[in-house]
Amino acid sequence: MEYENDPLLPILQSEINSRTQAYQNLTAAEERDLLMLNADQKKAILDGDKSAKNGYLAKGPAVSNGGIKTHPKFVAYEKSISQ
């Protein structure tokens, strides 16, 4: 595909250049601050991870065998995780 006569290409290139110009001369500290998560984002991630972990641990294993499902030890285990 040839783009040499494309009328939109110079417009798109100038738009990309104007948007990225501010980021080309960032120092390492400025770049780190720009990309670093803020406290609310960290809290949201931690809360989501905690919720997923608790949901996983509170769910019993998928057992289809009737003998295992009715075994006293398995019944006691299911009761212990549902509390």
> 31-54, pLDDT tens digit by residue?
999 999 999 999 999 999 999 999
Q: Where is pLDDT greater, at 59 or 83?
A: 59
Phi, psi dihedral angles at 32 (to 5 degrees): -60, -45
CA dist 3 and 6 (Å) reads 5
CA dist 26 and 44 (Å) reads 28
Residue 65 pLDDT: 92
The fraction of the chain above a pLDDT of 70, given in percent, is 98
Is residue 74 within 8 A of residue 68, CB to CB? The reply is yes
Q: Which runs of consecutive H residues, i.e. helices, occur in 38-71? A: 39-58, 66-69
Residue 44 pLDDT: 97
What pLDDT band is residue 61 in, cutting at 50, 70 and 90?
confident
Residue 82 pLDDT: 78
